[in-house]
Amino acid sequence: MKLNQEIQKLVDGILKKDMRSIAKAVSFVENSDYKTKKPFLQAIFPYTGKAKVIGITGLPGAGKSTITDKLIKAFRDDGKSVGVLAVDPSSPFTKGAILGDRIRMQNHTLDKDVYLRSMASRGALGGLAQTTKDALKVLDASGYDIVIIETVGVGQNEIDIVKIADCVVLTYAPGFGDEIQAMKAGVMEIADIYVVNKADRDFSQKLFKEISDIVNLSSKEPKPKVLKTIATNPYEQSNIGYLKEEIVKYIDYVETSSNLKKKRISFIESELIDTLTKIIIDKTLQNQNVKAFFDKKTIDKIYNKELNFYSIIDKIMEAI
């Protein structure tokens, strides 16, 4: 029963917004398998769903962390508490990671109503860690009004953020390719708001125009806004303030048009499928009847074409 007591302590701690409990809870969901963390997630489930979740995604070096830093300030000026999950990549070779997003956000470290957490992606390829969803639930249950999730620097296809964020902000900076890139499917389609950061640089106006042209053809409702920002410029706080306004407006809009409910229902659907898939795979692979097919002899026979790969799959399915 020791585990239950510890879990109860964590739950009590995060409901009191105790920072160390929140940090321990994030580690707990990050490091535990489904079975271990299920009672905890079950206990906090009733307290989740209140936070507004903002996703910041975009190319490496486009300014995601700096924009996040300025957004924190803008929301704090409104009296909102803010939790941040900043994801950086893990090495596929050593599993190590350098988590450097905090560097841009240090102004907020001593603010008791801001919680910053760096997460390593730990092998996940969709721009988030597999456990980011669960970490979000911890911050949500802790009562943060706003949770900002900063993805790994993305390329063209890392779009997990659309499965958890109420509003996705896609950040660009000039100098990364022509308008054909902007026309492609994938990341370019996921944004609710587009930001051309580093707008003081050459070609930023061109990029702004190209993205605006693409967005004009979009069938998304409401039509995504395209903004220009210079996140590092201390005199340009108004720009990020404007971005914050647009985020708030967007969330208000989807909330009143009941699109937010639709969005969140689709999040639940995809999480149901993801969670079940994982449980079923684990269960299947641990099944003794299935394990029997994984011996070297069988694999060798498949290699030598003595056994047909697809017949083995049929047999495994029968064995379950």
Partner 1 sequence: MAIRILIAKPGLDGHDRGAKFVARALQERGYEVIYTGIRQTPKQIAIAAVQEDVDFVGLSLLSGAHNELFPKVVEELHNAGVSDIVVFGGGVIPQSDIEFLKSKGIKAIFGPGTSIKTIVDFIENETKSRNSKIG
| Window contacting partner 1 (CB under 8 A); options: 26-34, 162-170, 208-216, 281-289 | 26-34
Quick one: residue 297, left, alpha or beta (phi over 0 = left, psi -120 to 50 = alpha)? alpha
| Window contacting partner 1 (CB under 8 A); options: 88-96, 132-140, 232-240, 244-252 | 88-96
Q: Is 106 in the site for partner 1 (CB under 8 A)?
A: yes
Nearer to partner 1 by C-beta: 30 or 210? 30
Give the residue, chosen from 38, 102, 201, 301, that forms a contact with partner 1 under the rule CB under 8 A: 102
Pick from 176, 149, 147, 142: nearest CA to 59: 176
CB of 123 to partner 1, least distance (A): 11
Q: Is 3 in the site for partner 1 (CB under 8 A)?
A: no
Q: Is 99 in the site for partner 1 (CB under 8 A)?
A: yes
Give the residue, chosen from 2, 96, 185, 234, that forms a contact with partner 1 under the rule CB under 8 A: 96
| Window contacting partner 1 (CB under 8 A); options: 118-126, 151-159, 228-236, 296-304 | 118-126
CB of 250 to partner 1, least distance (A): 28
Number of amino acids touching partner 1 (CB under 8 A): 28
Contact set for partner 1, span 177-216 (CB under 8 A): none
Virtual CA dihedral for 42, 47, 49, 54, nearest 10 degrees? -100
Whether residue 20 contacts residue 150, with contact meaning beta carbons closer than 8 Å, is answered with no
Q: Is 24 in the site for partner 1 (CB under 8 A)?
A: yes
DSSP letter (8 states) at residue 57: E
How many C-alpha atoms does 46 have within 13 Å on its Cβ side? Answer: 4
Measured distance CA(88)–CA(150) in Å, rounded = 9
Whether residue 162 contacts residue 126, with contact meaning beta carbons closer than 8 Å, is answered with no
Give the residue, chosen from 94, 256, 288, 304, that forms a contact with partner 1 under the rule CB under 8 A: 94
Judged on CB neighbours under 10 Å (0-12, 13-18, 19+), 95 is exposed
Q: At 276, which helix (H) or strand (E)?
A: helix 259-286
Q: Is 38 in the site for partner 1 (CB under 8 A)?
A: no
CB of 175 to partner 1, least distance (A): 25
Nearer to partner 1 by C-beta: 100 or 222? 100
C-alpha to C-alpha distances, 91 to 88, 100, 120, 130, 267, nearest whole angstrom? 10, 14, 9, 15, 28
Judged on CB neighbours under 10 Å (0-12, 13-18, 19+), 48 is middle
Instruction: Summarize as ranges the residues that interact with partner 1 (CB under 8 A).
Output: 19-20, 22-24, 26-27, 31, 90-91, 94-100, 102-103, 106, 109-110, 115-118, 120, 122
